[in-house]
Chains A and B, each alone.
Chain A
Amino acid sequence: MTDLKTLKQLEAESIHIMREVVAEFKNPVMLYSVGKDSSVMLRLAQKAFYPGKLPFPLMHIDTGYKFKEMYEFRDQFIKDIGANLIIHRNEDAIAAGTNPWQLGTDKCCALLKTQGLLGGLEKHEFDAAFGGARREEEKSRAKERVYSVRDEFGQWDPKNQRPEPWHLYNAQINPGESVRVFPLSNWTEVDIWQYILIENIPIVPIYYAQEREVVNRKGILIPVGENLKTKINEGEKIERVKCRFRSLGCMPCTGAVPSEATTVEEIIEEVVVARRSERENRVIDLTSDSSMEQKKREGYF
């Protein structure tokens, strides 16, 4: 009902959501995961409050297992835009040597990511947390609200969600409850990349293709190398493959996809003709038919 095209409509919608949260919550935070969606979300936040500064801090839930390039990018990018970044780690779990090889990915995620997130939110008493999740990414996320109300344990109850008609978001919550807010709900992977292109938004360089040493584990290319902590199993062969990361997570659980794309334009071309979904390389989503739903029920965003 407008002559604004898709990206401009999505931009306006996201900005509207962020302004509502800042107006109606006492202590919001923006979860910053260093990935492409976080980069877009951050640009939208800059737009929403211009000419003012960001009226909330950013928080990175660090597992210690992120790629070196992600940490470098994070520190430089945050300095460049002058934002206030909180880095939160579940130090107890990290000190206890939590890792996916012994505990399995589900347990490792639960401790380092979900518990890390809940701990960070609790420590700083945040009542609203922006996350860059998109409905298109995964089938349980397709059922998420823009304002996702969580109980005092951060849990999501998919069968008991508030209706959310029009663009009217209900910010009334009970003591102990909080909301996860998803301003990018209606964006697709292609929208994100097109926006990165037209807005010239900086991204972590490992999104681009380069030759990497990898092992092929059930069709997922797991990077190996000196600064990576990947364990090589018996019988696995190290290969050099030109590949890129389509979505970024922890090193042991993020696979690369074969790719020739070295520019954002080339990435868009690959994404549009892609025959496999964006999270295909995320080992953590594949453990069962409802892995993501289960994680969200436990407090993941």
Chain B
Amino acid sequence: MTGSLKKDLDLLRFCTAGSVDDGKSTLIGRLLYDSKSVFEDQMQAIERTAKRKQEDQVNLALLTDGLAAEREQGITIDVAYRYFATPKRKFIIADTPGHEQYTRNMVTGASNSDLSLILVDAKQGVLEQTRRHLALAQLLAVEHVVVCVNKMDLVDYSEARFLELSEEIQGIADQLHIKNLKIVPISALKGDMVVERGNRLDWFDGEPLLNFLETVPVQRELKEESFRFPVQLVLRPDSEFRGYAGQIGSGSVKVGDAITVFPSGLSSKVARIVTYDGDLQSAQYPQSVTITLEDEIDISRGDLLALSNEAPAVDSQFNARLCWMSETPMSLGKKYLIKMGAKVTKVMFKEIQGQLDLAHLKELPADKLELNQIARVQVKSLGALPLDDYQTHRHTGCFIVIDEMSNNTVAAGMVSLPQKAS
């Protein structure tokens, strides 16, 4: 391991989802334990617990359940973030509880993930939850999906059972247009095909899960993505300097590029790309930089910079998918705040166009939107906003909805624009 220490490694962010008792926490425990990312003192702590509770097997799930209430109740309540590294790559896991009422946690976990890892119990087979998890991965535009068919030890490591389940999972994925799907048979409990191959799944010609996680591509073709730069701050340390600070949401930019400011439509050219480590000739997603322009034009926090030939749509009415995250249902016609990029503005939801039935993968008519439900709604904003479709712009096509009274985050939103005619 020591050789690669000083080298900066690739980073893979993935989320895990599973139903109650399908062994998700055990799998994460296994990945951490077998990749030697669990420390002795942490291991000793859960061994002490096993002894106290007089259990004969150490419960690897206890490595991930951080809150006292979780350990008491033996369930995962909230998204937990775990970190591990191998000589090839660093990993951030967003571990989300799998119960239906926690859809909001899964949306949160998937929103920042490059890969979604979904568990299916080999004995129980494909459940409603499985469809739900696959549909959420697709909805959140997670690039890669891995389905682990777990507890293979309970079905005698049967190839026939695995093939049967694979076919069913593949069928659902096709229906959802999930492109990058991988299915792996594992036993998290016994450790088969997780980090080591083991010798009980010899019929499987694919690679163990960790190998796959270490090699799945995390680079997306940058040229396919248009440059988006939400302005967070206008930096004016002295009368000479006026720079726009932000993080590049997608694509890349270089000195001299013609840019347009949205929603105003004013244009200029990139003069400098400034960083503490020196000026850059070009910058790309997801760098945080400060851009100066050739002309003095009116730009403030919340505006969006884009290349002049890759303009976003600009409108005050649009459609979006909303995942409702509050116990208070959504009210049509009520004013909410949204935060989109660096812009906070008021909106109203005009109409619910349909509710997404994740378990059956279809849209149903609906007139309300409650906790953990997902619906397509029509949004009207105070003033026009630059708009990107979420499926093509994961960083600028999303927003959160805030209730002005409670100040709570009540929904996650994804802009959906009509497909452009090419």
Contacts and interface: CB of A to CB of B under 8 A. Distances in A.
A65 interface: no
B342 A51 contact: no
B198 interface: no
Contacts of A48: 245, 288
A49 interface: yes
Nearest to A191: B90
Interface residues of B, number: 80
A12 interface: yes
Contacts of B274: 50-51
- Most interface-central of A2, A169, A172, A280 (chain B CB within 10 A): A2
Given A170-B402, A276-B41, A268 B5 contact: yes
B40 interface: yes
Interface in A129-177: 135-136, 139-143, 158-159, 161-170, 172-174
A51 B237 CA distance: 7
A47 interface: yes
A272 interface: yes
A280 B41 contact: yes
Contacts of B107: 163, 165
A188 interface: yes
A142 B76 CA distance: 12
A289 B9 contact: no
Contact of A4 (B245, B287, B342): B287
- Most interface-central of B105, B219, B288, B404 (chain A CB within 10 A): B288
Counting contact residues on chain A (CB < 8 A from B), the size range is 35 or more
A289 B68 contact: yes
A168 B68 contact: no
A33 B396 CA distance: 35
Interface stretch (B79-87, B163-171, B352-360): B79-87
B412 A163 contact: yes
B177 to A, nearest CB: 19
Nearest to B62: A139
B1 A1 contact: no
A121 to B, nearest CB: 19
A27 B59 CA distance: 45
A194 B108 contact: no
Contact of A197 (B6, B66, B92, B235): B6
Nearest to B42: A277
B241 A51 contact: yes
B11 A9 contact: yes
A164 B11 contact: no
B220 interface: yes
3 A-B pairs with least C-beta separation: A139-B66, A52-B237, A15-B288
Interface of A: 1-13, 15-16, 19-20, 22-23, 46-53, 135-136, 139-143, 158-159, 161-170, 172-174, 185-186, 188, 190-191, 194, 197-198, 265, 268-269, 272-277, 280, 289-290, 293
7 contacts: A6-B9, A19-B232, A46-B276, A52-B236, A161-B78, A165-B412, A276-B40
